[in-house]
Amino acid sequence: MRKKISLVTPCYNEERGIRECYETVKAIMDAELPDYDREHIFCDNASSDQTVNILKEIAAADPSVKIIINARNFGVLRNTYNGVMAATGDATILFMPADLQDPPSLIPTFVKHWEDGYEIVFGIRARREEPFLSRSARHLYYRIISRMSYVDYPADVGDYQLVDRKVLNAMKLFEDVQPFMRMMPFECGFKSIGVPYTWQSRKYGFSQNRISSLIDQGLLGAISFSTVPLRTAFFFGLFISSISFAYALLVFLLKVFGFDLGPHGIPTIIVGLFFFGGVQLFFLGVLGEYIVAIFNQVRRRPIVVERERVNFE
């Protein structure tokens, strides 16, 4: 019995490269994995260019191509996750980027490891073709998240992962309205293996992921799979309280033994007030992030609102 490999490609205004993405993946699957059926799901986030028209032309000629068109732009994380939940393959590649920055040439390697018994095969971005500052910031972020997380999440791992059907079924049990999908397979467990590769530069245009979106995604990863920010706030507050108590005790003892401290230290008081005010505001912000996440979760809004599906039964 032939097995099916699903691939999920989120897209937003990718008219220049979307056909190349489809053709590249198809050529690799036909040449190196001819014994597998292919299901390529394109999730369009309400593109304003010709992306949808191009995808519909492709889908009309190739029934293995499926399209989900959103009613508006719901962000790359929710858009991709919704496409993954629609996958029907025996194994699913969670993220096959339209710009091919994660190279599709690794698909046969992923499938081979899967056939060898690994339920999760993840790509490791060992090298990045991007400016130094961006590369350094991502490098630092991934290591912070890896150390903060309560799951065994390797550094430099993105959404470019192949997961077995049993892993995907486990992911469907997550009732998370703000999914941070790249860490979900590691939360599920199962046997996994990493494949290092070079994250390539974009061939067409610029990334649609704005700085504000990247910050949102980074904060989501920090609060979804870690309690470190809250615990840090607790222990830092405990430390400051202890210092304050010790200082108050010292002042009391000095007064008891006749040492007059006098009116000195006004600048110290001002600096202290600004410092502790800043600390309080910072940790209120940390609490706010968790409260917003809880608020969004309890409202139980849909992941995305779809306008149309193509080639789905």
Q: Say which CATH architecture domain 3-226+302-310 belongs to.
A: Alpha-Beta Complex (3.90)
User: Measured on CA atoms in the order 107, 115, 180, 140, is the torsion positive or negative?
Assistant: negative
Angle subtended by helix axes 76-85 and 211-224, to nearest 10: 60
Mean pLDDT over 62-87 rounds to: 93
Least confident of 1-5, 170-174, 278-282, 308-312: 278-282
Q: How confident is the model at residue 75 (pLDDT cuts 50, 70, 90)?
A: confident
Q: How confident is the model at residue 311 (pLDDT cuts 50, 70, 90)?
A: very high
pLDDT confidence of residue 216: 63
Report H helices in the chain.
18-32, 51-61, 76-85, 107-115, 132-148, 165-171, 184-188, 211-224, 228-256, 266-299
- Contacts for 260 with CB less than 8 Å, ≥ 6 apart: none
Q: Which among 99, 23, 90, 100 has a CA at the least distance from the CA of 55?
A: 23
Q: Which among 170, 281, 151 has a CA at the least distance from the CA of 221?
A: 151
- Domain range list for the chain: 3-226+302-310, 228-299
pLDDT confidence of residue 122: 93
CB count within 10 Å of CB 24 equals: 17
Separation CA 184–CA 189 (nearest Å): 9
Per-residue pLDDT tens over the stretch 139-187: 777 777 777 777 787 888 888 999 999 999 999 988 777 788 888 898 8
Per-residue pLDDT tens over the stretch 212-252: 555 666 566 666 666 666 667 667 766 776 776 677 677 66
Q: How confident is the model at residue 259 (pLDDT cuts 50, 70, 90)?
A: low
pLDDT confidence of residue 133: 80
Mean pLDDT over 254-282 rounds to: 66
Per-residue pLDDT tens over the stretch 92-139: 999 999 988 899 999 999 999 999 999 999 999 888 877 778 778 777
Is residue 216 within 8 A of residue 209, CB to CB? The reply is no
